[in-house]
Amino acid sequence: MKKKVAKKKIPLKPAKKKSSKQETRDQYTVVLESLRSDFKVFGEALQMTHERMDRGFTEVNRRLDRLEGRMENVELKLAEHDTRIKQLELAITELIKELRDDKKQKEIDALKVRVATLEALIQKK
């Protein structure tokens, strides 16, 4: 048989009333713990933002490198075109000079014919 154990009743002591300083301190402790928690969450969010920005900057740098490569190609082609345009300008200048020389030669030839005709007329008289 089991023996019944008598339970002793422990008288509850009323809790000591905290001083107003202690209450204020406890309140500050609660606020500080809340702030710590908030700062921890903020720090984690900030870290995630930094990671996203780093990934974004990496992508932007990769794209910028590609654009720089393409820009170098454009600059090379532009330089080639500039050279070709200068060559064409020189060729056109030469052609214009030749055309002017040809026109002058035709004028000279026409004058020679007129002089010859005049000389022939003078000799007949």
Q: Alpha helix locations (H) across 1-125?
A: 20-124
pLDDT digits (tens, 9 = 90+) for 92-113: 999 999 888 888 888 888 989 9
Q: How far apart are CA 32 and CA 26, in angstroms?
A: 10
Q: What is the pTM of this model?
A: 0.45
How far, rounded to the nearest angstrom, does the alpha carbon of residue 47 sit from its chain's CA centroid?
25
Report yes or no: 36 and 43 within 8 Å, Cβ to Cβ: no
pLDDT digits (tens, 9 = 90+) for 39-93: 999 999 999 999 999 999 999 999 999 999 999 999 999 999 999 999 999 999 9
